[in-house]
């Protein structure tokens, strides 16, 4: 009896490598065109990063282990958990970037 084993393909590069390279190219372009704007770009990126980290920890503190997306029993519960986490992330990132 033959069994079908779906093995994931090995990645040659880590995830998001293409986007990281594009981001570095854009930062280089900003540096050539308007080098004084790099401080503003780095400030905004740091605000977005802080907002995302806060959103993740707020979601973990407010909701029980069973309500986390990877721990849900299935179906609509998983969808609700992912939507909830996305809304919390949206609120935290918007709050950080618009409020400061």
Number of domains in the chain: 1
d(CA 37, CA 55): 27
Q: Is residue 72 part of a domain?
A: yes
Q: Is residue 77 part of a domain?
A: yes
Q: Is residue 39 part of a domain?
A: no
Give 3 or 97, the one with higher predicted confidence.
97
d(CA 81, CA 47): 25
Q: Is residue 65 part of a domain?
A: yes
Lowest mean pLDDT among 19-28, 42-51, 76-85: 76-85
72 burial (CB, 10 Å; 0-12 / 13-18 / 19+) is: middle
Tell me the pTM: 0.70
Q: Is residue 82 part of a domain?
A: yes
Q: Is residue 12 part of a domain?
A: no
Domain of 79 in residue numbering reads as 51-100
Q: Is residue 60 part of a domain?
A: yes
> Are residues 88 and 58 in contact, defined by beta-carbon separation less than 8 angstroms?
yes
- Average of per-residue pLDDT values in the chain: 86
Q: Is residue 100 part of a domain?
A: yes
């Amino acid at each position: 009896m033959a069994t079908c084993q779906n093995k994931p393909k090995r990645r040659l590069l880590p995830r998001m490598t293409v986007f990281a390279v594009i981001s570095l190219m854009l930062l280089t372009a900003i540096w050539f065109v308007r080098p004084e704007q790099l401080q503003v770009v780095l400030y905004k990126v740091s605000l977005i990063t802080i907002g995302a980290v806060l959103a993740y920890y707020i979601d973990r503190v407010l909701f029980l282990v069973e309500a986390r997306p990877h721990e849900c029993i299935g179906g609509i519960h998983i969808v609700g958990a992912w939507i909830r986490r996305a809304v919390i992330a949206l609120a935290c990132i918007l709050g950080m970037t618009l409020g400061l």
